[in-house]
Structures are given as structure tokens and as C-alpha cells.
Amino acid sequence: MRIIRTSGEMQQTALTLRAAGRRIGLVPTMGFLHAGHLSLVRLARARSDAVILSLFVNPTQFGPREDLGSYPRDFARDAALCREADVDILFAPEAAKMYAPDASVYVTEEHLAAGLCGAARPGHFRGVCTVVAKLFNLCLPHVAVFGAKDAQQLRVIRRMTRDLNFPVEIVAGPTVREADGLALSSRNSYLSADERRQAPVLRRALDEAERLYRAGTRDAAALRNALQGIIAQAPAARIDYIAVVDDETLAPVQTLTKPALVALAVYIGTTRLIDNTVLQA
């Protein structure tokens, strides 16, 4: 596995791979890898013959009071996991090598990014879109794989790819969960033992939404109330948002007539976790 630390070397290498007819698969990550990331690597491997995993804790997608400084990092462990997973190139630039000190161009998506996590974390998706656009330009992937757990991010990136004509196929990897239903996330490492016991409440709430939907409930407020009731059973939980939105437009829905995304952001103690499910007939 080759480790690349600079944008220039990454882009040159990607150009060389393309000239040799190789199909490039990209898995963008912020590191502290877990089984969810490794499942994305497998999807990239199945669709390409040169897999690049980018590891970059992107400062532009963190708000001033968010966890950029404390975001978990373990480069040696991540590199070992990438080797085991048969990653070809680990692209791990430093922030100073990714953004010019006077960088002044950003990518914004102005519709899908407005609500949900975009409302709770102003500027977050501008940072995500900007870094993903840069990663596309540096790694020149044919295919890029993103986790379905970050439901809004996935939809925003698909829209950016379409609207800016990036010749990249976007593939979604299913959410990988612990045995008790907790979605894997690097941020789970922040949870205390007691919070960890309570955290599967997100999945339990989504299970209830799925059960109610199968039983015929189509009223979004009824679904939200049921989810709220379940989350309230966990003393460490504080709801940031519970949203029932159109799966395509992310516009709030009152009555479910088309596929709907049920998305949750819940603080367990001080750790903000997200999860979601899509309800469709």
C-alpha cells in the first residue's frame, strides 16, 4: 500500500493510473476506521481495480464549537486496517496541504443541505461539498462510495456530482451496526459505558417507525411522537431533531404517500449521533 501525503502527488498518481486504463474507486473518510468503512472499501474494490482511501479530518466541515480538536485519530491503526483491507493508496494529506492559506472558493448545495443536519450545523455541508469536490479532483475516481448512515450527506453529494457534472458514480454502502443495533460511527468512541448501553435507543426508535409504517401509519406527526416517546426512555438522550422528510427532496412531509426518510440526530450525553431509515411500500 502506498501512502500519499500531498495533493500534487495524489493527482499525478491518479492521472498515471487513468492513463494506464485503471478504474479508480475512492472511499472518502475522516479516519478512525471501523467495520463500516471497511465495508465501503469492499464495495469500492468490487467496482474498481485501484482503491484509494482518503483519510482527512476536514476542518471546514466543523463548526467553531464542534469536535475538530478532539475528533478521534489513530493513523498507525488506520494504516494497518487499510493494508489488511487491500487498499492500494492511503491518501492522508495535512490540512495545510489541502487548503491554501488564502483559499476562498467553496462549494455550496442550496436546497438539500438546508434542513436536518444542515440547519443544526451551519456551514457543515459547505465544508463537506468543498472537500469532496477537491477529493474528486485529486483522486479522479470513476466511483466513490459513501455510507448510507449519513443520509443527507449522501443525497447532497449525489446532487453536487450531478449539478457540477463530475464523471463519478456515487455508490451507497448500507449502514453497518453493532449486534445491539447501534450504527457504527467513529464518534461512538466518545460514549461512556453507561451512554454506550443507552445509545441503541436510536435504532429502537427507528424499528418502531418501521413497525408502525408496516401497520399502516402514514401520519408523520404520529411517527415523530412515537419516536420521541422511545428516545425519552433513555435518560442520557437529548433529541436534536426527529425528521420525516421526502426521501428525494428532503422536504418535510405530513402524510407519507411516497418513500420517506426518517432521520434522527440525538445527543447521548455530549455525543451527537445520527441514524435513519427509509420507509417505502
Catalytic residues: 37
Binding part of the chain for ligand PAF, among 10-18, 27-35, 41-49, 65-73 by CB under 6 A, reads 27-35
Which of 117, 131, 154, 168 is close enough to bind ligand PAF by CB under 6 A? 131
> What is the nearest approach in angstroms of ligand PAF to the Cβ of residue 29?
5
> What is the nearest approach in angstroms of ligand PAF to the Cβ of residue 163?
17
- The two beta strands, 237-246 and 260-268, are antiparallel
132 contacts ligand PAF (rule: CB under 6 A): yes
Restricting to residues 204-233, which ones interact with ligand PAF according to CB under 6 A? none
141 contacts ligand PAF (rule: CB under 6 A): no
> What is the nearest approach in angstroms of ligand PAF to the Cβ of residue 221?
30
Beta partners for residue 269, in sequence order: none
93 contacts ligand PAF (rule: CB under 6 A): no
Closer Cβ to ligand PAF, 90 or 220, answer by number: 90
Q: Which residues bind ligand PAF (CB under 6 A)?
A: 28-30, 58, 61, 128, 131-132, 150, 153
